[in-house]
Chains A and B, each alone.
Chain A
Amino acid sequence: GENVEQHPSTLSVQEGDSAVIKCTYSDSASNYFPWYKQELGKRPQLIIDIRSNVGEKKDQRIAVTLNKTAKHFSLHITETQPEDSAVYFCAAGNAGNMLTFGGGTRLMVKP
């Protein structure tokens, strides 16, 4: 089955700096790579996703890149704000398979 590794497990940045979270996956059949944000005490919610036919996707301060050859994808948050503080999860899957999550990254943005 799919195995998703996520790094780092914790990340502390100063407000205004950029944050980068990286994930690797093992199953070359995976073609869907979402990122979820979970605030304290809340449910995980999708913030951005990318499919294997696209190398990069942006949505305001958030961007995701995908390298299919190397089987890794990354989340980039620019101009971080205190409200970006949360746990971020990457995941990988495809239509015929389950969605497998990485271990999560706790992002702390210091004012």
Chain B
Amino acid sequence: DARVTQTPRHKVTEMGQEVTMRCQPILGHNTVFWYRQTMMQGLELLAYFRNRAPLDDSGMPKDRFSAEMPDATLATLKIQPSEPRDSAVYFCASGFRADTEAFFGQGTRLTVV
């Protein structure tokens, strides 16, 4: 049963620290999304990759957030420095294309204190 894997599942960090979240998309999927969710509603798109190339990261605060795909099996989302307002659940999703089913990972619950 192929699944999108995200690590860590939970992260508590102090304000100002760097946070790195990782995502392993389903093998063969060439589309990867990063979403942020607060208060159990609202999936805010942060970044979108196709064939490892970033196509849209307009929803991401550029001064502190960065997203990369070093290879086809790994996507990363970094926050440096982290702030309390970054506390949320960060989901990674992958699919064959943007017009096919997006499979979500379990999410990383980030708490910045």
Please give the residue numbers on chain A whose beta carbons come within 8 Å of chain B beta carbons, in ascending order: 1, 9, 31-32, 34, 38, 40, 43-46, 49, 51, 87, 89, 93-101, 103-104, 106
Please give the distance in Å from B29's CB to the nearest CB on chain A: 13
In the complex, the answer to whether A101 meets B45 with C-beta atoms within 8 Å is yes
Partner of A43, one of B55, B100, B107: B107
Q: Which of B25-70 contact A (CB under 8 A)?
A: 33, 35, 40-43, 45, 48, 55-56, 58
In the complex, the answer to whether A44 meets B91 with C-beta atoms within 8 Å is yes
Chain B residues, CB < 8 A from A101 = 35, 42-43, 45
Is B87 on the interface with A (CB-CB < 8 A)? no
Please give the distance in Å from B99's CB to the nearest CB on chain A: 4
Please give the distance in Å from B6's CB to the nearest CB on chain A: 9
In the complex, the answer to whether A43 meets B41 with C-beta atoms within 8 Å is no
